[in-house]
Copies of this chain bind each other. A is one copy, B any other.
Amino acid sequence: MDTAADVDLAVVGGGFAGLQAGLTAVQAGRSVAILEARDRLGGRTKPGRLAGHVVDLGGQWVGPDHRRLLALAARHGVATERQFEAGAKLIEFAGKVRRYTGLIPALPTVALLEVDRTMKRIERMAAALAASAPWATQNAARLDGMTVASWLATQVRTKGARAMMEIAVRAVFSAEPSEISMLFFLAYLRASGGLEPLISVGGGAQQDRFKGGLHQLSACLAEEVGNGRIRLSTVVSAVEQDESGVTLRLSGGDTLRARRVVMAVPLALLGRIGSTPPWPALRAGLAQRSPMGSVIKCHVAYPTPFWRARGLSGEAVSDAGPFSPVFDGTPEGAAHGVLTGFIEGEAARQLTELSPEGRQEQVLRCLTRLFGPEAAIPLDYAENDWLAEEWSGGCYAGLMAPATMTGFGPVIRQPAGRIHFAGTESAIEATGYVEGALESGERAAAEALAALSLG
Interface residues of A (CB under 8 A from B): 141, 144-147, 149-150, 153-154, 175-179, 235, 237, 253, 268-269, 271-272, 274, 278-279, 281-282, 284-285, 288-292, 294, 346, 349, 352-353, 385, 387-388, 390, 393-394, 401-404, 407-408
Contact = CB atoms under 8 A, between A and B. Distances in A.
Given A291-B285, A346-B407, A271 B268 contact: yes
Nearest to A349: B407
A346 B177 CA distance: 24
A141 to B, nearest CB: 8
Contacts of A268: 271, 288
A292 B282 contact: no
A282 B402 contact: no
A388 B352 contact: no
A344 to B, nearest CB: 12
Contact of A278 (B282, B390, B407): B390
A346 B278 CA distance: 21
Contact of A145 (B149, B274, B407): B149
A12 to B, nearest CB: 15
18 contacts: A145-B176, A146-B147, A146-B150, A146-B153, A149-B402, A178-B403, A179-B407, A235-B274, A268-B288, A271-B271, A278-B388, A281-B349, A281-B352, A281-B353, A281-B385, A282-B353, A289-B401, A401-B401
B292 A403 contact: no
A387 B285 contact: yes
Contacts of A353: 281-282
Contacts of A269: 271
B147 A281 contact: no
A245 to B, nearest CB: 21
